[in-house]
Structure 1
Amino acid sequence: MTEGDSNADPVTEGESTHILTGLYPGLKLGAGRYSLLKPLGHGGAGEVWLATDTVLSEPSALKLLPPAKEGDIGAFEDLRQETRRSRRLSHPNIIRIYDFHNLPGEIPFISMEYVKGVNLDALRERAPQGVLSWEFLRPILRDLCEALAYAHSEGLVHRDLKPSNLLLNEKGQLKLADFGIAASCREPYGRGAERHRGWGTPAYVSPQQLDGGVPSTSDDLYSLGASLYELLTGVPPFFEGELEIQIRLATPQPMAERLQRFGRVNEIPAGISALVMDCLAKDPARRPITAREVQQRIENAFVAPKSQRLPAGGVLPAPPAPPPPPAPAKPAALPRLTAVKPTLTRKPRTGGTAAASKGGSPDSLYRAEPRSARTVPLGWIFLLLGLAALVWVGRQAMKVEPRIPNAVSGLELPPLTNAAFTLERELTGNKDPITAVAVTRTGEWLAGGATDHTARVWELEGKTPKTFVGDGGLFEVLAISPSGTWLAAGGVNHAVKVWEVKRRLLQLTLPAHSNAVTCLAFSPDGGALASGGQDGKISVWNMPTGLSNSAWSGHRGPVRAVAFASDGASVATLGRDEMVRVWHPRNGVRLGEFSVTNQATGAVGFSADGSLLATSRGTEIVVWDVRGRSVWRRWSAPDGAVVASVAVGADGLVASGDRHGEIMLWAAGSGRRLQTWAGHSDEVSTLAFSSDGQRLVSGGADRVVKVWRRGEGP
């Protein structure tokens, strides 16, 4: 296991602050031989700690069975079998497993080689454009093929090959990690296999492994192709929507097209592009047969510059940057046009054929022989003028109803020019300033939380609100399900509580985080609830059962905002680390990310469908296209108004509130201010749109919640 990289994969090292119950620095294990120093990472099978081997006076990595699974015979057997399988492997490019320890009164654990360095996923994240160059990867991939060929010759299939399991030590030597779910391709696939059906990381597993098929070396070659695809393009072959369906049925986008889609440039040899697509074939018979075949094709791939390797004992350098996007070429000057009367002469057919075979076109069978060296027929002049006129007319027609597309994601926003909101209802009775508001899909139900640890839920047509009283620190963040059935609340008491609104019954108390709950969101169908915490963790819960779908470490620092995509197939989060990340809600697989460095120091808010993100810094507002991972538009509030709250609605409406109680309405597509009005007598502390964009709810330090109805502006 690795340590020492501050930008390591948050799913592994990012949870270094999370300590399993009963584990702490200084704890002695292995009859006193090992002394725990600090956690390195964790996964479903256990937590990995850096420890000191007091007998050999050297560092070691320990993989410990979680205390919660001490009585789990299956988990215990998995750990023992991992040791038994991996101890058979002795290769310079595979992390060495030392022993399995199971002493009375101690947590079972594996001792293994400790690698100080970085994994390729973390290295890619901080590389220019988020991709690694082929010249850098080539020797690493060659060593990986050596390691796989050796493991396969020993009858083992890795089954979880991915960039975060490919480690580089301080000398730049590859180390393949985590044979935890490896399987034998020689033994019968029977006892215990059913528990491991579909194990692995979905973005990198083959269709056969996804369906629980018999382990095969071909599964590893598919995962190798998926990993290389991501390292060269910045994203896995399939990263959005229903991954399982795409893995089984869809053909990955060619790497050149994927790079173009995300505005990246990387020189990939044609032979490597073909190799990756062959590895990703649905039919195992169409993939390379062995790792040696992959290695040979890598060796044959042309690469001009010498690959970069690390100096012995040196510090790991940044990988070579892919070439920058080419500057747009200046249009060549048009030749001087001279109207002449051409004389057409027919060239002999044999001569024309010869010319065409040397690169000429069939049109060269006919040749104009002008009276001057630089002349163009008069007919061509009229044709060019006609085309220019058509282009001009087309552009004028486009101005009638413009759309504002993003070339990366295909997102379009309508040209808003006249939306406006008027006061529909004012809701008073709160004793303290409003900290959070939430509203259902069409605004029939809305909720407001206050600093007195109470929340009130109003039915828009009703008169008396339903009041919910929580313990200290609750109702700092709120979410209400699209139908108004459930109210979820969180705060500094670490738990998420869920009530049935109509009967005011507390239904669930979810132990979501080790620190304060900072954000909440329901899925569009109300069947899932996502929470983010001060601990950087994201949790997704099934509704109404409260069963945990998944939980993972997503950010280094607090999670500031969370939102589901419109189809519920992904979750977007923004962290205090100024990273926006998109995740698969059922397994926590990261589907994409981008940085909002220095642009999100103030208020933040996602649109209901997670497609847009608004952030603020002082008086400036920035709208981001989440899918395209890019800035959509930025503008500044007038008169030095500091933005205190922000919300994004349907069709690109953005609302902002300032410290003096004013609310401003903006069109995200153009950055145009559509409306300004006095919303509150004190700071507008929180804002929320209904999903249909027809209502805006605001809460202020003046202890009032207001509902604003959308109409047409002047």
Structure 2
Amino acid sequence: MSAPDSTRNDDANSQGDDSENILGNSNATPERKSHPRSRRRRSSNAFESAPNQDPTIGSSSSDLPPTSAGIATDNDPNEESTNNPAPRYESVEEVGRGGWGVVEKAVDKQLEREVAVKRFCDADDVTQQERNRFLHEAKVTSQLQHPGIVPVHELGDRCDAFYVMKLLDGVTLSKFIQEHHQQKVSERKTPFQFGESLEPLLQRFVDICNAVAYAHQRGVIHRDLKPSNVMISDFGETVVLDWGLAQSVEQPTDHVNVQSTSELPADVSPLFERDGTVVGTPAYMSPEQARGEISRINRSSDLYSLGVILYTIVAGRNPYQGQPVDQILNQVRRPTCPDLRTYQPLVPKPLLSIVRKAMSSSQHD
């Protein structure tokens, strides 16, 4: 999941995602009301020591960690509110906090289970655009029912909006990649042996592709695919998170068993942006996204991002590691990505071919 308006760096920065979080709207953002931010004491949860890996341009929530966790309420517990999650959801610990949002692990007292709840720190201190994105993310995610997409259990959309999700335990794909390459760095291999050593990572990558394929079949593109938006659980789950930038695309006519436009998830549309607006994460976005060509973003844009994820899996680092945002955007727009063999000479030829095709400068390729 993600939150809004500050730039943070974490373990993905060690892979090259130090770029990235400014509200990427071509129009002026409405001024916030000057209410004091609510600040609860942060817990000692492990996620606190790991700042956000790949902040997102154009997202309203990129400071929150890529996990599902409950959100505490700062309201009076005795105050009556149909959208106050406090009566049913008891906060356990804070997992992360962004400019306007907070996530915490919580207990659903009615069903006696741990869940994730997300809502605003202060509902009066967010813009309408942020509120729209928040509700948009919840509704999109709730209607994409797939093992690789986190389930949403409940949404409260009046006044102090919140939504409740399955709680995920594990690490991000970004961390998983980093740990794998740290363990294997001293081992010399043939290309075949190196390819075999990537099997655990490649199996996760196939899981991601299956989740994205399902979303595409439902007419939804993610627009912000990256390792820090994928959670690897301790029990074999691979879950794609953060659908806050998702939008619908025109349904193809040549696919069988594809949902009709009338059956698309509610509120999934090319919301909020005009051409010229840059949305996504620079180090993982497609050239058309980097150029702000909103009308050209389609399924192939997600495929490009998947190609960059595969590049990162093979090389152990993002192709633009350590570069500032403006420099990354310029390279992606051209595009001039360093060849994968530059960072990993042992890359097997089939993987190299897949990466090159997915990251082609032409959408048609």
Is the shorter-chain TM-score for this pair beyond 0.5, marking a shared fold? yes
* Larger Cα-atom Rg: 1
Matches within 5 A, 1:376-387: none
User: Quick check: 1:119 aligned with 2:172?
Assistant: yes
Mapped contact 1:118–1:168 kept (Cα < 8 A): yes
Give SS of 1:111's match: strand
1:200 aligned partner: 280
Mapped contact 1:95–1:113 kept (Cα < 8 A): yes
Distance 1:7 1:221, change over 3 A: farther
Matches within 5 A, 1:138-153: 138-153=202-217
User: Quick check: 1:229 aligned with 2:334?
Assistant: no
- Could you tell me the percent identity over the aligned residues? 28
Distance 1:123 1:8, change over 3 A: farther
Show CA shifts across 1:88-121 (max 9, x none): 11101111122221355xx311211111111111
For 1:131 and 1:109, the matched residues in 2 are separated by 42
For 1:69 and 1:230, the matched residues in 2 are separated by 40
Give the C-alpha shift of residue 254 in structure 1.
2.0
Show CA shifts across 1:263-315 (max 9, x none): xxxx53211111112111121111xxxxxxxxxxxxxxxxxxxxxxxxxxxxx
Mapped contact 1:45–1:66 kept (Cα < 8 A): yes
Give SS of 1:193's match: coil
Structure-1-length-normalised TM-score: 0.35
1:533 aligned partner: none
Mapped contact 1:25–1:36 kept (Cα < 8 A): no
Mapped contact 1:4–1:118 kept (Cα < 8 A): no
Which of 5, 10, 15 matches 2:51? 10
User: Quick check: 1:280 aligned with 2:365?
Assistant: no
For 1:14 and 1:193, the matched residues in 2 are separated by 21
Give SS of 2:306's match: helix
Q: Higher helix proportion, which one? A: 2
For 1:268 and 1:7, the matched residues in 2 are separated by 35
**Aligned amino acid, residue 226 of structure 1:** V
1:269 aligned partner: 348
Give SS of 2:278's match: coil
1:450 aligned partner: none
Mapped contact 2:141–2:243 kept (Cα < 8 A): yes
Show CA shifts across 1:333-362 (max 9, x none): xxxxxxxxxxxxxxxxxxxxxxxxxxxxxx
Distance 1:182 1:66, change over 3 A: farther
Mapped contact 2:64–2:98 kept (Cα < 8 A): no
2:22 aligned partner: none
User: Quick check: 1:96 aligned with 2:151?
Assistant: yes
For 2:184 and 2:244, the matched residues in 1 are separated by 28
**Aligned amino acid, residue 142 of structure 2:** R
Show CA shifts across 1:626-657 (max 9, x none): xxxxxxxxxxxxxxxxxxxxxxxxxxxxxxxx
Matches within 5 A, 1:271-670: 271-286=350-365
Mapped contact 1:157–1:185 kept (Cα < 8 A): yes
User: Quick check: 1:81 aligned with 2:136?
Assistant: yes
Structure 1, 56-65 or 119-128: larger mean CA deviation: 119-128
Show CA shifts across 1:235-265 (max 9, x none): 21223251111001143222221136xxxxx
Mapped contact 2:72–2:94 kept (Cα < 8 A): no
Distance 1:70 1:102, change over 3 A: farther
For 1:35 and 1:147, the matched residues in 2 are separated by 31
Distance 1:249 1:227, change over 3 A: same
Structure-2-length-normalised TM-score: 0.66
For 2:280 and 2:290, the matched residues in 1 are separated by 8
User: Quick check: 1:108 aligned with 2:149?
Assistant: no
Mapped contact 2:222–2:247 kept (Cα < 8 A): yes
Give SS of 1:139's match: helix
Give SS of 2:232's match: strand
Give the C-alpha shift of residue 15 in structure 1.
7.7
2:68 aligned partner: none
Give the C-alpha shift of residue 190 in structure 1.
5.8
Distance 1:111 1:7, change over 3 A: closer
Distance 1:152 1:14, change over 3 A: closer
For 1:83 and 1:128, the matched residues in 2 are separated by 34
**Aligned amino acid, residue 113 of structure 1:** K
Which of 334, 343, 350 matches 1:258? 343
User: Quick check: 1:177 aligned with 2:241?
Assistant: yes
For 1:5 and 1:230, the matched residues in 2 are separated by 24
**Aligned amino acid, residue 277 of structure 1:** R
Q: Higher strand proportion, which one? A: 1
Show CA shifts across 1:488-507 (max 9, x none): xxxxxxxxxxxxxxxxxxxx
Distance 1:183 1:15, change over 3 A: closer
For 2:283 and 2:363, the matched residues in 1 are separated by 17
Q: Which sections of structure 2, spanning at least 5 residues, go unmatched?
A: 3-43, 54-61, 66-70, 79-83, 186-196, 251-260, 262-267
Distance 1:134 1:24, change over 3 A: farther
For 1:151 and 1:172, the matched residues in 2 are separated by 21
For 1:196 and 1:54, the matched residues in 2 are separated by 46
For 2:214 and 2:152, the matched residues in 1 are separated by 16
Distance 1:158 1:15, change over 3 A: closer
**Aligned amino acid, residue 197 of structure 1:** T
For 2:206 and 2:147, the matched residues in 1 are separated by 13
**Aligned amino acid, residue 155 of structure 2:** F
Give the C-alpha shift of residue 191 in structure 1.
5.3
Give the C-alpha shift of residue 234 in structure 1.
2.4
Matches within 5 A, 1:204-223: 204-212=284-292, 213-214=294-295, 215-223=297-305
User: Quick check: 1:134 aligned with 2:198?
Assistant: yes
Mapped contact 1:8–1:119 kept (Cα < 8 A): no
Give the C-alpha shift of residue 159 in structure 1.
0.9
Distance 1:189 1:169, change over 3 A: closer
Give the C-alpha shift of residue 4 in structure 1.
6.9
1:706 aligned partner: none
Mapped contact 1:238–1:247 kept (Cα < 8 A): no
1:56 aligned partner: 111
Give the C-alpha shift of residue 195 in structure 1.
9.8
Give SS of 1:60's match: strand
For 1:111 and 1:40, the matched residues in 2 are separated by 14
Higher relative contact order (CA 8 A, sep 6+): 2
Distance 1:283 1:15, change over 3 A: closer
Give the C-alpha shift of residue 168 in structure 1.
1.2
